[in-house]
Amino acid sequence: MSGKLCLGLFLVVATVAACAGPKIGYDYDPQANFHTYHTYDWAPGEQEATGDRRVDNAQVDIRIRTAVGAQLRLKGYTMTTNGKPDFYVAYHAGLKDMTPDTTDQYFSKGMAGAPFSHTADTRTKDATPSKIDSHLAGSLLVDIIDAGTNKLVWRGTAAGDIDPGLTSEERDARVRAIVHEMLSHFPPK
């Protein structure tokens, strides 16, 4: 392989890896009859506070509710204006500062099957606190709750790295894309 081809391949792989989106998943109650759902509303009560001002604010709340509402409308669901809906929607969002540990702990079975642990310092010589790479990890859960039984019947999950340098428009687009991918699995087939 020529040097230019290797470099080109490396750049493509690096670009794809850098653009890797969040991990999306879902789970549902196989006994739930999703065909009877036509109307929805947001779960009653206040949004659950996390204690983190980066998450507990009006901009994040509006951004998530707008994205979820748009996807549900595209799927043919309508938000109730009066009366009881078929299902409620709730979300839970969180952020965590991820700083690599400076030690790793290994657990194994020792002699005669007795457990033991070993702690190893994994820092390199130049891994001063200012040089340790840290990042933000975020998660978003979207819950669908049957309004008749008040049972959780579907949950979508997303987890990935957060870029705090995004503009407001970029944050809107990212949340819309994540919610779109998540709700592509609702209702389950």
Tens of pLDDT along 24-36? 999 999 999 999 9
Q: What does the buried/exposed string (b/e) look like for 111-141 if buried means 16 or more CB atoms within 10 Å of the residue's CB? A: eeeeeeeeeeeeeeeeeeeeeeeeeeebbbb
Compute the average pLDDT of residues 109-130: 42
3-class DSSP state for residue 171?
Answer: helix
Q: What is the DSSP letter of 134?
A: -
**Domain 21-99+136-183 has what CATH class?**
alpha beta
Where are the chain's structural domains? 21-99+136-183
Q: Is the pLDDT of residue 85 over 90?
A: yes
Cβ neighbours for 151, distance < 8 A, ≥ 6 positions apart: 29, 32, 145
Residue with tokens 């009877």: 36
pTM of this structure: 0.72
Looking at residue 134, what is its pLDDT? 66
- For 35-48, what is each residue's pLDDT tens digit? 999 999 999 988 88
3-state secondary structure of 176: helix
